[in-house]
């Protein structure tokens, strides 16, 4: 197409091409889900069906984008690990984050409607997600990143479980429950749950305590040096990634090295 005299406006655009050969993590997070969960009357502390809507939406993204090797999520957030050699959108930051945020938003709405036909989404209270992408230069930091998110899940879930037990079963007002928990450490909350309510926190559902992990599983994985491959060879590798099955787990990924060591492709 011939260039018009308006074409110059394009020069004002800026692109951030993310550093090549680094691990990318895109995290999406629900906008105002504290209010959203109240409006649509989520079970507290954990609405299992709503968590499954998050999981279905995230799984859809993992299936759809073969560069996603793994995803970890809890509450209203999900983190997606993209492989080091990912060339999606030439690694343009804005393209990546806007696409992931809108994919999450679209899939969430779709699966919400299937899960909650009795609670149709209202236009004034639509679920929306933001996204950010972070570049990590080595895999140890990627592991620490996922540990950070899983610790966060644990701390929040222990707090929320104790808080809502005090409110729903102990009859405390939210304010009193909050005051009761001020300054307590994990051991205090475990003890409170057990001594006053007979709840052993360890027996709470794994999905609540540990979050959800999706991971591409390869049979007979062999590492390949990608630089210098023809585009046909790259396509073949991509096809293999697309064919990989997707595992779903609710397990410890902080202390269990075997999770990572048995899946060397995550670091490659």
Closest contact distance (angstroms) between CB of 245 and ligand ATP is: 26
Distances (CA, A) of 11 to 6, 7, 15, 95: 11, 8, 11, 18
Closest contact distance (angstroms) between CB of 200 and Mg ion is: 27
Residue 67 touches which member of Mg ion, ligand ATP, none, C-beta under 5-8 Å by kind: none
Tokens representing 3? 């260039």
33 is in an annotated binding site: yes
Rule CB under 6 A: say whether 137 interacts with ligand ATP. Answer: no
12 is in an annotated binding site: no
139 is in an annotated binding site: no
262 is in an annotated binding site: no
**Considering only CA atoms, which of 27, 14, 16, 31 is closest in space to residue 132?**
27
Q: Do the Cβ atoms of 66 and 238 come closer than 8 Å?
A: yes
Contact string (CB under 5 A) for Mg ion, positions 75-94, x = contact: xxx-----------------
Name 133's bridge partners: 26
170 is in an annotated binding site: no
**Considering only CA atoms, which of 94, 91, 67, 93 is closest in space to residue 81?**
67
Strands of the sheet containing 23-30, edge to edge, are: 129-136, 23-30, 77-82, 68-74, 212-217, 245-249
**Considering only CA atoms, which of 83, 67, 60, 73 is closest in space to residue 29?**
73
CA–CA dist 247, 216 (Å, integer):
6
Tokens representing 143? 């592991």
Rule CB under 6 A: say whether 131 interacts with ligand ATP. Answer: no
Closest contact distance (angstroms) between CB of 118 and ligand ATP is: 17
Closest contact distance (angstroms) between CB of 222 and ligand ATP is: 33
Residue 34 or 236 having the CB closest to ligand ATP: 34
CA–CA dist 213, 228 (Å, integer):
33
Contact string (CB under 6 A) for ligand ATP, positions 33-72, x = contact: xx--x----x-x-xx--xx---------------------
39 is in an annotated binding site: no
Residue 82 or 153 having the CB closest to ligand ATP: 153
Segment contacting Mg ion (CB under 5 A): 33-41, 56-64, 181-189, 220-228?
33-41
**Considering only CA atoms, which of 237, 264, 262 is closest in space to residue 249?**
262
29 is in an annotated binding site: yes
Rule CB under 6 A: say whether 32 interacts with ligand ATP. Answer: yes
Closest contact distance (angstroms) between CB of 218 and ligand ATP is: 29
b vs e for 31-43, b when ≥16 Cβ sit within 10 Å of the residue's Cβ? eebeebbeebebe
Q: Binding site, residues?
A: 29-34, 75-76
Residues that bind Mg ion (CB under 5 A): 29-30, 33, 75-77
Residues that bind ligand ATP (CB under 6 A): 29-34, 37, 42, 44, 46-47, 50-51, 75-76
């Amino acid at each position: 197409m011939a260039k018009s005299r308006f074409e110059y406006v394009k020069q004002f655009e800026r692109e951030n091409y993310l550093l090549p050969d680094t691990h990318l993590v895109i995290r999406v997070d629900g906008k105002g889900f504290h209010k959203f969960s109240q409006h649509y009357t989520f079970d507290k502390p954990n609405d299992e069906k709503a968590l499954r809507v998050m999981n279905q939406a995230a799984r859809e993204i993992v299936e759809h984008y073969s560069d996603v090797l793994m995803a970890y999520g809890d509450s209203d957030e999900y983190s997606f690990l993209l492989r080091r050699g990912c060339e999606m959108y030439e690694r343009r930051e804005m393209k990546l984050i806007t696409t992931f945020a809108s994919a999450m938003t679209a899939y969430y709405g779709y699966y919400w409607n299937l899960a909650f036909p009795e609670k149709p989404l209202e236009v004034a209270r639509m679920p929306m997600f933001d996204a950010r992408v972070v570049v990590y230069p080595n895999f140890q930091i990627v592991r620490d990143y996922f540990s950070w998110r899983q610790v966060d899940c644990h701390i929040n879930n222990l707090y929320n479980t104790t808080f809502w037990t005090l409110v729903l079963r102990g009859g405390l007002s939210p304010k009193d429950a909050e005051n009761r928990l001020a300054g307590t450490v994990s051991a205090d909350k475990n003890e409170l749950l057990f001594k006053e309510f007979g709840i052993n926190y360890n027996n709470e559902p794994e999905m609540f305590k540990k979050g959800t992990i999706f991971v591409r599983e390869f049979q007979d994985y062999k590492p390949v040096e990608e630089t210098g491959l023809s585009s046909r060879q790259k396509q073949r590798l991509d096809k293999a990634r697309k064919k990989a099955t997707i595992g779903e787990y609710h397990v410890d990924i902080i202390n269990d090295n075997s999770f990572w060591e048995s899946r060397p492709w995550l670091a490659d």
